[in-house]
Structure 1
Amino acid sequence: MSVTTGGDMPYRAPRLFIGGAWRAGSAETRNPVINPATEAVLDELTHASPRDLDDALAAVARGFKVWRATPAAARQRVLLQGVQNLRAQREAIARLLTLEQGKPLAQARMEVDTAADMVQWYAEQARRVYGRILPAPQPGADYEVRKEPVGPCLLMSPWNVPVILAARKLGGALAAGCSCILKPPEETPASVAKMVECFIEAGAPDGVINLVFGVPQRVSSHLIASDVIRKISFTGSVAVGQGLAGLAAPGLKRLTLELGGHSPVIVFDDADVDAVARQLVVAKFRNAGQLCHAPTRFFVQKGAYARFVDTFAAAASQLRVGDGMAEGTDMGPLANGRRLSAIRELVAATRADGTVVTGGERVGDTGYFHQPTVFADVSPDAKAMRDEPFGPVALIRAFDTPAQAIELANATRYGLGSYVFTDSARLQRQMITELEVGSVAINSTVVTVAEAPFGGVRDSGYGYESGEEGLDSYLHTKFVNRNHSA
């Protein structure tokens, strides 16, 4: 193998992990893992066969019996040791992530740090899963509400921030006492597998964590059809989320869906326009814009519009696009050829509905690189204003009144994150109240943290990751009426 992680070890696609043992997938299908910066094949990933998946189901059922009976303090120790292992493996995981996904190495390191922070929060909450005692209306009786793990879980994460999203699901499930089958993205398998290894080595019992790869539709349909799986958590596209909801419906299985976004940004005249524009360029083009909560539709009040467009476009044009492994790279390639094709088609279609201020072209002819692209004066009827770009494309439009900004911001089926920049308390309150989204950041570009719930409305899905609400999604509530006088 000629491709290395930048250290002494060559890149190797991971195997499946089932019932406490690593093994090659036995399906006939397999896929190449491609470096998006060079288009070189890193290795070939083997897939799980139906027999492998049945073995995973049997293992996760056994693992649940063990893990649910494990005291919360012991579960916490395993998770905290896993976090310690994860921090120790930061550089190795980050290099795998950059090779597979393309993001700059500095951003990959930050992803590992964030993943560790999220699991640590869940670990700290593992001993705080409280029930309660209620006063009974009759003598000699106690009413009790208990919280118990919901059961074996299927956790499915995407390729854009694979370590964070897999770790967040894993942390919630394990803290609650659930076992799991984790299906990471086949495009970025090794970074997630290395993260999982940290928790296996921390002492997770056999069967508590299982790792499988395969053709996504085949894997999900096979596993969700089993009575063993009681909860599904998925992050990904709206279309796939809708399909999973249909698969989960016959078994009435609990489902958390964190789907797409088309996040609006509202900048009022009183904002520090230059500082806000530069801050938003960093947020928009991080991970080449491939984030569900990336700021995308920029609505700027007319008094600040021209200056915002100039400052934003100038900062975007100065971003250094290149291989994520190269020092000084600000934006890496898109993660795969599908995304590059989709962005090129979107840019071509949007030229008729807006003005290209900077960018608009592919970079080079090797690797999936595209220029940071900024459109101004974009028509509200443009396809790009309705459909999530999921790439390095920013869409800017002016507005007059707060009511017009709200109307523009809410004019999609998505409702995940949003960003507002103003020092007016009255405007802040109005935006918080009237924006139809799951998260609102005021004078900030942060809409998701470990301590708070993250989720959306409408086509952005339902249910929550992170925070108390994220942990509760892995718990079943049981009412107990204990009569002592019978």
Structure 2
Amino acid sequence: MTTELRRLRNYIDGEFQDAADGRTTEVVNPVTGEAYATAPLSGAADVDAAMAAAEAAFPAWRDVVPAERQKLLLKIADAFEERAEELIAAESENTGKPLGLTRTEEIPPMVDQIRFFAGAARMLEGRSAGEYMEGLTSFIRREPIGVCAQVAPWNYPMMMGVWKFAPALAAGNTVVLKPSDTTPASTVLMAEIIGGVLADLGHPKGVFNVVCGDRDTGRRMVEHPVPAMVSITGSVRAGMQVAESASKDIKRVHLELGGKAPVVVFEDTDMAKAVEDISTAGFFNAGQDCTAATRVLVHESIHDEFVAALAKAAAEIKTGAPDDEDVLYGPLNNANQLAQVSGFIDRLPAHAKVETGGQRVGDKGYFYAPTVVSGLKQDDEIIQNEVFGPVITVQSFTDEEQAISYANGVEYALASSVWTKDHARAMRLSKALEFGCVWINTHIPLVAEMPHGGFKKSGYGKDLSAYGFDDYTRVKHVMTSLDG
């Protein structure tokens, strides 16, 4: 007896639609490794239709006053709260995330972030008008960019979707959003909710569109002539391809491309607190977080003690099914990711030591044990490249200078943290660390009011905050003669 797979559909111009050519791809639940749904494998015709809908809706949406855009976003936030359990169920089926943690750690921030950008819609500020040349007054207009093509990742399908559509809509842009091919379910549900609010308020149907598909679908979106901006959260390789493609017609590009966060632990830290917080920040969401505390640098005087304590804490962390209230994290997202994480451990050099973990858990789904690896050198593969799994590496350093050198000695530059009771040292490190965020005696908290985004190969542009809002606007200088 076979179970009929649920059919997910694109959302284009206010209507749910199959791919024009009828092609689909199976969507797999990472807890079981079995398919539970099909989603459109969208081609050129589907991308064309979504872009046409967004382009047609843009003039009217651009001219909606900020207070009305705020109203839309506030109603979307309310609707997300009202339908939270549906969103949680869809996200958990997408990703295998624990239901309880999705309820407490994702829904409230998402709703708060939408409400923040609802307020930002009414804060389109520019420099004050003035006479910078005799007889002429200059002022600044902040305007929406146009149609935004947005590609969300599979590690946080809902939340990253919010980070993309909320500032874009708040600024007066229209959106075509593509979820990952492995996690479309919650995005399709968000489209249903957002589309309902747009209809209730009488706004154009094409303001928000969702196109499901694979990398080729995303490539077609990036190459399409309509979007004025492309935003992607993904791998460095994907970001490079997007930037290269977008350069051909000078699209604006917004890239968040992963990280390799250094966690610098000095000898005067509160070790018990550091171990507890770092293990949680490293293994939360199975380490599938661009800011995860995955690369720990510990002063040599406390290295051995710290490694033992971290390994003990990791061994006590549990992974398992979404309805198990005792688990910190669920499975890796897909079979390819399981293979990638396993490969890093399989290829460890002889001088490395697996302190705990290092193996798959169970015989179905994509679960991986919390893993701590010590004895590593700065040029080791697992230090230089993003694992994106429940693996924390530990290195030893001798002094502040070496700690900074090790921390900065990777191609990523998204997030970092410093653990010390010495305020002056913390300030020196916060200046020296070349990362978009530096936490002090904590790791991973984010707030809507502060920017998230990195340097180097972690990309450019900011999510969240007024800076993230500004990225979805363009600046126009207007000058008028005072002579009439």
TM bracket (short chain): over 0.9
Query: What is the SS of the residue equivalent to 1:418?
Result: strand
Query: What is the SS of the residue equivalent to 1:146?
Result: strand
Distance 1:357 1:351, change over 3 A: farther
How far, CA to CA, are the matches of 1:16 and 1:30 in structure 2?
Answer: 11
1:321 alignment partner in structure 2? 319
1:224 alignment partner in structure 2? 222
2:365 alignment partner in structure 1? 367
Q: Which amino acid aligns with 2:18?
A: A
Distance 1:221 1:30, change over 3 A: same
2:273 alignment partner in structure 1? 275
- Does the 8 A contact of 1:439 with 1:447 survive in 2? no
Could you report, residue by residue, the CA deviation over 1:346-400 in whole angstroms, capped at 9, with x for unpaired residues?
1111252311111111112111111111011212221101111100111011111
Distance 1:375 1:429, change over 3 A: same
| Pair 1:101-2:101 in alignment | no
1:477 alignment partner in structure 2? 475
How far, CA to CA, are the matches of 2:445 and 2:323 in structure 1?
Answer: 28
Query: What is the SS of the residue equivalent to 1:207?
Result: helix
2:310 alignment partner in structure 1? 312
Could you report, residue by residue, the CA deviation over 1:179-224 in whole angstroms, capped at 9, with x for unpaired residues?
01000112111112222322222225311001101222x2233233
Shifted more, 385-394 versus 41-50: the winner is 41-50
Could you report, residue by residue, the CA deviation over 1:416-466 in whole angstroms, capped at 9, with x for unpaired residues?
100111111121111111111111000111353211111111110111111
- Does the 8 A contact of 1:293 with 1:416 survive in 2? yes
1:121 alignment partner in structure 2? 116
| Pair 1:90-2:84 in alignment | yes
Query: What is the SS of the residue equivalent to 2:331?
Result: coil
- Does the 8 A contact of 1:278 with 1:311 survive in 2? no
Q: Which amino acid aligns with 1:155?
A: Q
Shifted more, 300-309 versus 53-62: the winner is 300-309
1:141 to 136, 139, 148: 136
How far, CA to CA, are the matches of 1:64 and 1:348 in structure 2?
Answer: 51
Q: CA deviation at 1:12?
A: 3.3
Shifted more, 280-289 versus 347-356: the winner is 347-356
| Pair 1:197-2:196 in alignment | no
2:160 alignment partner in structure 1? 165
User: 1:380-395 counterparts in 2 under 5 A?
Assistant: 380-395=378-393
1:379 alignment partner in structure 2? 377
Q: Which amino acid aligns with 2:125?
A: Y
User: 1:30-41 counterparts in 2 under 5 A?
Assistant: 30-41=24-35
How far, CA to CA, are the matches of 1:13 and 1:409 in structure 2?
Answer: 46
Shifted more, 346-355 versus 287-296: the winner is 346-355
Q: Which amino acid aligns with 1:148?
A: E
Q: CA deviation at 1:415?
A: 0.5
- Does the 8 A contact of 1:414 with 1:460 survive in 2? yes
- Does the 8 A contact of 1:286 with 1:331 survive in 2? yes
How far, CA to CA, are the matches of 1:113 and 1:2 in structure 2?
Answer: 37
Unmatched runs of 5 consecutive residues or more in structure 1: 4-9
How far, CA to CA, are the matches of 2:101 and 2:177 in structure 1?
Answer: 24
Query: What is the SS of the residue equivalent to 2:402?
Result: helix
1:22 to 11, 16, 20: 16
Q: CA deviation at 1:13?
A: 4.2
How far, CA to CA, are the matches of 1:449 and 1:162 in structure 2?
Answer: 18
| Pair 1:72-2:66 in alignment | yes
Report sequence identity in percent: 34
| Pair 1:214-2:202 in alignment | no
Unmatched runs of 5 consecutive residues or more in structure 2: none
- Does the 8 A contact of 1:167 with 1:195 survive in 2? no
- Does the 8 A contact of 1:83 with 1:198 survive in 2? no
1:130 alignment partner in structure 2? 125
- Does the 8 A contact of 1:269 with 1:303 survive in 2? yes
Could you report, residue by residue, the CA deviation over 1:130-162 in whole angstroms, capped at 9, with x for unpaired residues?
233332145543211110001110011000011
Q: Which amino acid aligns with 1:205?
A: P
How far, CA to CA, are the matches of 1:48 and 1:275 in structure 2?
Answer: 48
- Does the 8 A contact of 2:76 with 2:197 survive in 1? yes
- Does the 8 A contact of 1:82 with 1:201 survive in 2? no
How far, CA to CA, are the matches of 1:340 and 1:225 in structure 2?
Answer: 31
- Does the 8 A contact of 2:299 with 2:398 survive in 1? yes
- Does the 8 A contact of 1:118 with 1:466 survive in 2? yes
Could you report, residue by residue, the CA deviation over 1:71-121 in whole angstroms, capped at 9, with x for unpaired residues?
100010000000000111111111111112112112322222222111111
Query: What is the SS of the residue equivalent to 1:124?
Result: helix
How far, CA to CA, are the matches of 2:5 and 2:272 in structure 1?
Answer: 43
Aligned pairs, how many?
479
Distance 1:388 1:467, change over 3 A: same
1:7 alignment partner in structure 2? none
| Pair 1:179-2:174 in alignment | yes
- TM-score calculated relative to the size of structure 1: 0.95
How far, CA to CA, are the matches of 1:142 and 1:14 in structure 2?
Answer: 54
Distance 1:84 1:46, change over 3 A: same
User: 1:242-261 counterparts in 2 under 5 A?
Assistant: 242-261=240-259
How far, CA to CA, are the matches of 1:211 and 1:419 in structure 2?
Answer: 36
Query: What is the SS of the residue equivalent to 2:294?
Result: strand
| Pair 1:111-2:110 in alignment | no
Q: CA RMSD in A?
A: 1.7
- TM-score calculated relative to the size of structure 2: 0.96
| Pair 1:56-2:50 in alignment | yes
How far, CA to CA, are the matches of 2:133 and 2:372 in structure 1?
Answer: 68
Q: CA deviation at 1:411?
A: 1.1
How far, CA to CA, are the matches of 1:156 and 1:221 in structure 2?
Answer: 10
Shifted more, 24-33 versus 66-75: the winner is 24-33
Q: Which amino acid aligns with 1:156?
A: V
- Does the 8 A contact of 2:5 with 2:38 survive in 1? no
How far, CA to CA, are the matches of 2:237 and 2:351 in structure 1?
Answer: 26
- Does the 8 A contact of 1:185 with 1:213 survive in 2? yes
Shifted more, 76-85 versus 296-305: the winner is 296-305
- Does the 8 A contact of 2:452 with 2:464 survive in 1? yes
